[in-house]
Amino acid sequence: MAHKFVIKKNKGGEFVAYFVYNSENIFWTEGYSSKAGAKNAIESIKKNGPPAEIDDQTDD
């Protein structure tokens, strides 16, 4: 699979969820004090992300 979510700790010791595509960090969440907070953020993204509107700012 080319994409996945990764949970890591930042320098401040907070849990951060990263969305990784082809080994590149595409976006990440804010820092959470618990791993459960990061997992909840992932579930929210998975639930709410697909129907998001597309803002196409190209000229054509």
* Better pLDDT: 31 or 52: 31
| Domain assignment of residue 59, yes or no | no
Rounded distance, CA 43 to CA 5, Å? 10
Establish if 19 belongs to a structural domain.
Answer: yes
Q: How far apart are CA 37 and CA 8, in angstroms?
A: 12
Residue 25, domain member (yes or no): yes
Domain that residue 8 falls in: 3-48
Per-residue confidence band for 28, with pLDDT thresholds at 50, 70 and 90? very high
Domain count, the chain: 1
Please indicate, yes or no, if residue 39 is contained in any of the structural domains. Answer: yes
CATH classification at residue 12:
3.30.160.160
When pLDDT is averaged across residues 45-59 and rounded to a whole number, the result is 78
Look at residue 14 and tell me if it is in a domain.
Answer: yes
Structure tokens belonging to residue 40: 């909840």
Q: Is residue 24 part of a domain?
A: yes
